[in-house]
């Protein structure tokens, strides 16, 4: 039994390490000049989401991060499009190094599709997920994350500080 447990643990650890190194590395683009210029009208409700940053080893021997954003279905508004329940989110990431040598931006529109049955019954367990991997040199950084529901305009922002060594 102990041997089986050891083998399963070893398999899990190896699969986790290999899963981290097989992801596609996303590119950061130059920060647009209009960044941070939102309308003065604030939505009457903030969008709740979870965000985390994990250090990952990339296949080329370099280091980087995996930024994950998770927004529960109960926080976003779905509308029917061709018989399918659809929601759209804009997710913005800005990574800045402490010495300001790196200032990069990433933007993605995330579309979520589901059924009316899931929304009616088990939607509390579902969430919209985005995970992006970025290669970064050693140093201290912060990542600013903004998630915005396109339908309602509800949004929220978080800042996470991290270090790659």
pTM: 0.75
Four-CA torsion 64, 68, 69, 73, nearest 10 degrees? 160
**pLDDT digit string, tens, across residues 39-98:** 455 666 899 999 999 999 988 888 999 999 999 988 999 999 888 999 999 999 999 998
Instruction: Supply the pLDDT for residue 122.
Output: 61
Residue 36 has pLDDT above 50, yes or no: yes
138 or 21, which is more confident? 138
Average pLDDT, the chain: 80
How much of the chain exceeds pLDDT 90, in percent? 48
- Domain coordinates in residue numbering, the chain: 2-33+45-164
C-alpha span between 128 and 68 (Å, rounded): 11
* SS3 (DSSP) at 13: helix
Please, are residues 91 and 108 in contact by the beta-carbon 8 Å criterion? yes
Q: Distance between the two ends of the chain, CA-based, in angstroms?
A: 38
CATH architecture of 2-33+45-164: Sandwich (2.60)
125 or 78, which is more confident? 78
């Amino acid at each position: 039994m102990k041997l089986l447990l050891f083998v399963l643990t070893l398999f899990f650890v190896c699969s986790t390490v290999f899963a981290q190194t097989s992801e596609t590395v996303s590119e950061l683009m130059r920060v647009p000049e209009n960044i941070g210029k939102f309308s003065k009208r604030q939505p009457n409700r903030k969008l709740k989401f979870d965000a985390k940053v994990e250090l990952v080893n990339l296949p080329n021997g370099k280091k980087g991060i995996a930024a994950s954003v998770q927004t529960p279905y109960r926080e976003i508004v779905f509308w029917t499009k061709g018989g399918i329940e659809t929601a759209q989110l804009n997710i913005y990431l800005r990574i800045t190094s402490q010495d300001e040598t790196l200032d990069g931006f990433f933007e993605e529109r995330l579309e979520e599709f589901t059924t009316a049955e899931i929304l009616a019954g088990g939607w509390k367990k579902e969430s919209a997920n985005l995970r992006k991997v970025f290669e970064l040199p050693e140093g201290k950084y912060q990542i600013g994350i903004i998630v915005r529901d396109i339908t309602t305009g509800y949004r929220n922002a978080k800042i996470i500080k991290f270090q790659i060594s």
